Amino acid sequence: MDFSFTLFKPHKARSQKREEPMISVKPNGRIVFNKKAAELLENSYFCMLGYDNDNQALGILPVAEQESNAFPVRYAAKGAYIGAKKFFRHFNILPQAVVENSPIKCGQFIGLKF
């Protein structure tokens, strides 16, 4: 008895995605961390924000306790986010479209070029 087998070949090959740390700045003033980038916050519930005008960079400093000018960090299943519209309006840097980039660890700060 002869068989003529046809092997299974899926139409779309699965790719093994390695999640890279990524931070998005949205036009509504939210700073959104994916799951991997949220690990850089080290479970801090507040952050101080700074802006480097010369390098067009955002600095995020996780802090343990709430301070008068600290922003709360909200954690979700897919990462974390900070509502910082006042910060972006203060420096007049609120983006018109979503800006997404990989974070850079700079000492205690999490740096983000945009």
Ordered per-residue pLDDT tens for the chain, 114 residues: 788 888 888 777 655 566 899 999 999 999 999 999 999 999 999 999 999 999 999 999 999 999 999 999 999 999 999 999 999 999 999 999 999 999 999 999 999 998
Residue carrying structure tokens 């980039």: 101
Contact 80, 38 (CB under 8 A): yes
pLDDT at position 10, please?
Answer: 78
pLDDT at position 14, please?
Answer: 59
Which neighbouring-strand residues pair with 50?
59
The length of the chain in residues reads 114
pLDDT at position 17, please?
Answer: 62
pLDDT at position 9, please?
Answer: 81
pLDDT at position 2, please?
Answer: 82
